[in-house]
Amino acid sequence: TETQATRARLRFPAGFTWGSATSAFQIEGSTTVDGRVESIWDRFCATPGAVVNGDTGDPGADHYRLMDRDVALMTELGLDAYRFSVAWPRVLHADGTVNSKGLGFYDRLVDRLLDNGITPCLTLYHWDLPQALEDQGGWANRDTAFRFADYALAVLDRLGDRVVQWHTINEPWCSAFLGYASGRHAPGRQDRTAALAAVHHLLLAHGLGMRAIRERVPAAVAGLALNLYPVAGDADAVRRVDGLQNRIFMDPVFGRGYPNDVLADVRRWWPDDLVRDGDLDTIAAPIDVLGINYYRGYQVSDRGETPDLTWVGSEHVGFHPTGAPVTDSGWDVQPDELTDLLVQVQRDYPEVPLVITENGAAYPGVADEDRVAFVEAHLRAAHAAIDQGVDLRGYFYWSLLDNFEWAEGYAKRFGLVHVDFATQERTLKQSARWYADVIRENGF
């Protein structure tokens, strides 16, 4: 109607999914209960100097115990969908048998969500590898991909009758390069060859996971979530960073194999027997949707001041501020680049619809106008991409709750909902109220 058109100046397509996202290790706490085994992040948090303030996964936002309360918050916001991850260390006992009690938590979560009309969107792996697997080489070990498939089947067998939306792996770039090259994330290794092996084994795990999902849930809508970055600056640096960040994952997933220019850059460290017959077909299993996690773009140059181990074979590349305002994490706020990214991904990989599986920012406080402005600008950018023909199906704000921001600990707050980590009191931020209006109006 006319009233709605004037009130909501930007309307999203009918059926557009409004969501918010979290991940298991970042919110659950209760890391030693109900048979949960140690993960690489538990071990990493115990390493002096690894995480700001020595913060750990406990008690976190205590979501494992406050789940009902948190689903009530989602209902208050009016979320269409909730993206969460399952903790692999909760699902399998140390001896590899299925931990029914650990899975029971997700079983109840899914039921709660469905009871409240919220679509569960399940991510199988958001960085919390069982430490026992790391002790056998972690993602640098090919066998981990097959263990992931076993784990995926255990989750599918328990939840596949009710969960339709699945993502295999969240941000394999972080697991591979921050985990094994720079060592900024768990398991904190600095080994270029291990990082490249991890890239391949994470992608192989994705492909095997897709196969398991297809076997068990024929109606599934499934894919993976990549943290993609638009890159600008010196041509060779752009090619290298775009290659290691974006194309090294998208090209194999969309059936093109690894990009030759990236293979040439990393040749010295790429293990000889890494890619076996059939692997690329497994990785190229058709997906239904590509999840994009968008936070910022990169401004790069051919010469950085100090070598950065993250960028295997391109350690000399420099990263520079654009001059844009920054969030509390120091990240440049670059909404327009989101339009370019979505348009470019859809043009270069036209096979599938897109969904923004994460977008958000760290800002302090409950009166968080900055977060409102951030989300509004990014939704405008997403809408502009839709206007240019991009098939964008949804938007998930990162994050529902303030939580454990990995190596940054609890100091950086991404939530729509404020969490007092001492009392576990939840308070809706101004942005949460604003987002609830956006959801109700399907725009703003």
Catalytic residues: 171, 358
- Residue 398 annotated as lining a ligand binding site: yes
Smallest gap from Cβ 118 to ligand GBH, in A, equals: 20
DSSP letter at 112 equals H
Residue 65 in 3-state DSSP?
helix
Nearer to ligand GBH among residue 245 and residue 346 (C-beta): 245
- Bridge-partner residues for 98, per DSSP? 92
Nearer to ligand GBH among residue 293 and residue 431 (C-beta): 293
Nearer to ligand GBH among residue 156 and residue 176 (C-beta): 176
Smallest gap from Cβ 26 to ligand GBH, in A, equals: 6
Mark the segment that binds ligand GBH (CB under 6 A) among 142-150, 166-174, 258-266, 433-441: 166-174
424 within 8 A of 30, measured Cβ to Cβ:
no
The DSSP element (H or E) to which 358 belongs, if any, is strand 354-359
Mark the segment that binds ligand GBH (CB under 6 A) among 5-13, 170-178, 197-205, 336-344: 170-178
Mark the segment that binds ligand GBH (CB under 6 A) among 171-179, 245-253, 264-272, 282-290: 171-179
Smallest gap from Cβ 410 to ligand GBH, in A, equals: 12
- Tell me if 405 contacts ligand GBH by CB under 6 A: yes
Nearer to ligand GBH among residue 148 and residue 444 (C-beta): 148
User: Structure tokens of 438?
Assistant: 């956006």
3 state SS for 68-102? HHHHHHHHHHCCCEEEEECCHHHHECCCCCECHHH
> Looking at 326, 377, 407, 411, which residue binds ligand GBH (CB under 6 A)?
407
**Rounded CA separation 294/335 (Å):** 9
> Looking at 56, 170, 175, 339, which residue binds ligand GBH (CB under 6 A)?
170
- Residue 201 annotated as lining a ligand binding site: no
Mark the segment that binds ligand GBH (CB under 6 A) among 51-59, 111-119, 158-166, 177-185: 177-185
Q: Judging by beta carbons within 10 Å of its beta carbon (0-12, 13-18, 19+), is residue 419 exposed, middle or buried?
A: buried
- Residue 173 annotated as lining a ligand binding site: no
375 within 8 A of 362, measured Cβ to Cβ:
no
Nearer to ligand GBH among residue 123 and residue 131 (C-beta): 123
Residue given tokens 């940054």 in the structure block: 408
- Tell me if 359 contacts ligand GBH by CB under 6 A: no
Mark the segment that binds ligand GBH (CB under 6 A) among 55-63, 178-186, 262-270, 381-389: 178-186
3 state SS for 133-148? HHCCCHHHCCHHHHHH
CB-nearest residue to ligand GBH: 184
**Rounded CA separation 388/370 (Å):** 27
141 within 8 A of 187, measured Cβ to Cβ:
no
x-or-dash string of contact with ligand GBH, 14-33, rule CB under 6 A? ---------x--x-------
- Tell me if 332 contacts ligand GBH by CB under 6 A: no
User: Structure tokens of 48?
Assistant: 């002096």
**Peptide bond just before 187 cis, omega within 30 deg:** yes
- Residue 406 annotated as lining a ligand binding site: yes
Smallest gap from Cβ 231 to ligand GBH, in A, equals: 14
> Looking at 56, 165, 227, 346, which residue binds ligand GBH (CB under 6 A)?
227
Nearer to ligand GBH among residue 106 and residue 127 (C-beta): 127
Binding positions for ligand GBH, 302-321, rule CB under 6 A: 310
- Tell me if 171 contacts ligand GBH by CB under 6 A: yes
**Peptide bond just before 59 cis, omega within 30 deg:** yes
> Looking at 93, 162, 184, 380, which residue binds ligand GBH (CB under 6 A)?
184
- Tell me if 402 contacts ligand GBH by CB under 6 A: no
Per-position DSSP letters for 238-305, written without gaps between them: HHHHHIIIIIHHHHHHTTS-S-HHHHHHHTTTS-TT-S-TTHHHHHT---SEEEEE----EEEES--S
The alpha carbons of the chain give a radius of gyration, in whole angstroms, of: 20
3 state SS for 18-32? EEEECCHHHHCCCCC
> Looking at 148, 295, 410, 444, which residue binds ligand GBH (CB under 6 A)?
295
- Bridge-partner residues for 122, per DSSP? 84, 166
Binding site as annotated, residues for substrate = 26, 126, 170, 295, 398, 405-406
Binding site as annotated, residues = 26, 126, 170, 295, 398, 405-406
Write out the residues near ligand GBH by the rule CB under 6 A: 23, 26, 170-171, 174, 178, 182, 184, 227, 293, 295, 310, 358, 398, 405, 407, 414
